[in-house]
Amino acid sequence: MPSPTSIGRQAEEVASQYLQSKGYQVLHRNWRTRWCEIDVIVQQAQRVTFVEVKYRTASTWGGGLDYITSKKLQQMQLAAEHWIAAQQWTGDYALGALEVSGPKFVVTAWLPELW
Protein backbone atom coordinates (compact mmCIF):
# COMPACT_ATOMS: atom_id res chain seq x y z
CA MET A 1 0.00 0.00 0.00
CA PRO A 2 1.43 3.43 -0.96
CA SER A 3 2.32 5.84 1.84
CA PRO A 4 0.15 8.92 2.42
CA THR A 5 3.14 11.05 1.36
CA SER A 6 3.51 9.26 -1.98
CA ILE A 7 -0.26 9.49 -2.58
CA GLY A 8 -0.14 13.22 -1.82
CA ARG A 9 2.81 13.71 -4.16
CA GLN A 10 0.98 11.85 -6.93
CA ALA A 11 -2.12 14.01 -6.43
CA GLU A 12 0.05 17.15 -6.56
CA GLU A 13 1.71 15.92 -9.77
CA VAL A 14 -1.72 15.37 -11.37
CA ALA A 15 -2.82 18.80 -10.14
CA SER A 16 0.30 20.45 -11.55
CA GLN A 17 -0.20 18.81 -14.95
CA TYR A 18 -3.85 19.84 -14.98
CA LEU A 19 -3.02 23.45 -14.15
CA GLN A 20 -0.31 23.55 -16.82
CA SER A 21 -2.89 22.30 -19.35
CA LYS A 22 -5.05 25.30 -18.34
CA GLY A 23 -2.25 27.75 -19.10
CA TYR A 24 -0.72 28.14 -15.64
CA GLN A 25 3.02 28.10 -15.04
CA VAL A 26 3.99 26.03 -12.01
CA LEU A 27 6.37 28.08 -9.87
CA HIS A 28 6.71 25.75 -6.87
CA ARG A 29 5.46 22.45 -5.52
CA ASN A 30 5.52 21.85 -1.77
CA TRP A 31 6.87 25.28 -0.96
CA ARG A 32 7.67 25.29 2.76
CA THR A 33 8.90 27.37 5.60
CA ARG A 34 9.23 26.16 9.17
CA TRP A 35 5.74 27.62 9.84
CA CYS A 36 3.71 26.80 6.75
CA GLU A 37 3.51 25.14 3.33
CA ILE A 38 1.67 25.46 0.06
CA ASP A 39 1.03 22.43 -2.17
CA VAL A 40 1.34 24.16 -5.55
CA ILE A 41 2.03 27.77 -6.53
CA VAL A 42 1.09 28.73 -10.08
CA GLN A 43 1.15 31.90 -12.14
CA GLN A 44 -0.99 33.06 -15.02
CA ALA A 45 -0.27 36.54 -16.39
CA GLN A 46 0.33 38.83 -13.39
CA ARG A 47 -1.56 36.66 -10.89
CA VAL A 48 -0.13 34.03 -8.59
CA THR A 49 -2.46 31.39 -7.15
CA PHE A 50 -1.63 29.42 -4.02
CA VAL A 51 -3.29 26.03 -4.50
CA GLU A 52 -4.32 23.55 -1.84
CA VAL A 53 -4.58 20.06 -3.37
CA LYS A 54 -7.05 17.70 -1.70
CA TYR A 55 -7.17 14.02 -2.61
CA ARG A 56 -9.88 11.54 -1.65
CA THR A 57 -10.10 7.92 -2.75
CA ALA A 58 -13.89 8.10 -2.45
CA SER A 59 -16.50 10.70 -1.58
CA THR A 60 -18.12 8.61 1.18
CA TRP A 61 -17.18 11.22 3.79
CA GLY A 62 -17.37 14.19 1.42
CA GLY A 63 -15.13 15.47 -1.34
CA GLY A 64 -11.71 16.95 -0.84
CA LEU A 65 -12.97 20.52 -1.05
CA ASP A 66 -15.26 19.82 1.92
CA TYR A 67 -12.10 19.68 4.04
CA ILE A 68 -11.04 23.24 3.35
CA THR A 69 -12.08 24.90 6.59
CA SER A 70 -11.75 28.48 7.75
CA LYS A 71 -8.66 27.38 9.72
CA LYS A 72 -7.13 25.94 6.52
CA LEU A 73 -7.88 29.22 4.71
CA GLN A 74 -6.07 31.12 7.49
CA GLN A 75 -3.07 28.79 7.14
CA MET A 76 -3.08 29.29 3.37
CA GLN A 77 -3.23 33.06 3.79
CA LEU A 78 -0.28 32.97 6.19
CA ALA A 79 1.75 30.85 3.77
CA ALA A 80 0.84 33.16 0.88
CA GLU A 81 1.99 36.18 2.88
CA HIS A 82 5.32 34.44 3.63
CA TRP A 83 5.85 33.61 -0.05
CA ILE A 84 4.89 37.14 -1.16
CA ALA A 85 7.40 38.64 1.28
CA ALA A 86 10.16 36.17 0.37
CA GLN A 87 9.68 36.71 -3.37
CA GLN A 88 8.92 40.44 -3.08
CA TRP A 89 5.84 39.80 -5.23
CA THR A 90 3.90 42.95 -6.09
CA GLY A 91 1.26 41.45 -8.40
CA ASP A 92 -2.20 40.09 -7.72
CA TYR A 93 -2.73 36.79 -5.93
CA ALA A 94 -5.47 34.35 -4.98
CA LEU A 95 -5.99 31.26 -2.86
CA GLY A 96 -7.28 28.29 -4.85
CA ALA A 97 -8.13 24.65 -4.32
CA LEU A 98 -8.05 21.61 -6.53
CA GLU A 99 -9.68 18.27 -5.79
CA VAL A 100 -8.23 14.98 -7.08
CA SER A 101 -10.32 11.85 -6.59
CA GLY A 102 -10.36 8.12 -7.00
CA PRO A 103 -7.81 5.42 -7.64
CA LYS A 104 -7.01 6.88 -11.08
CA PHE A 105 -6.27 10.36 -9.63
CA VAL A 106 -8.78 12.39 -11.65
CA VAL A 107 -9.21 16.15 -11.18
CA THR A 108 -12.83 16.52 -10.06
CA ALA A 109 -12.93 20.20 -9.05
CA TRP A 110 -10.86 23.36 -9.51
CA LEU A 111 -11.67 26.56 -7.63
CA PRO A 112 -9.23 29.26 -8.74
CA GLU A 113 -10.50 31.66 -6.06
CA LEU A 114 -11.57 30.62 -2.59
CA TRP A 115 -12.06 34.19 -1.44
Domains and CATH numbers, the chain: 4-109 (3.40.1350.10)
pLDDT at 2 over 80: no
pLDDT of residue 62: 65
Pinpoint the alpha helices (H) of the chain.
Answer: 4-21, 70-87
Mean pLDDT of 16-22: 97
Give buried/exposed letters for 43-57 (b at 16+ CB in 10 A, else e): beeeebbbbbbbbbe
pLDDT in tens, 66-114: 888 899 999 999 999 999 999 999 999 999 999 999 889 999 999 999 8
pLDDT at 115 over 70: no
Q: Which residues, listed in sequence order, are joined to residue 41 by a DSSP beta bridge?
A: 28, 50
Whole-number average pLDDT of the chain = 90
Q: What is the pTM of this model?
A: 0.91
Mean pLDDT of 56-61: 70
Q: Are 77 and 32 in contact, with CB atoms under 8 Å apart?
A: no
Are β-strands 92-101 and 47-56 bridged in parallel, bridged antiparallel, or unpaired? parallel
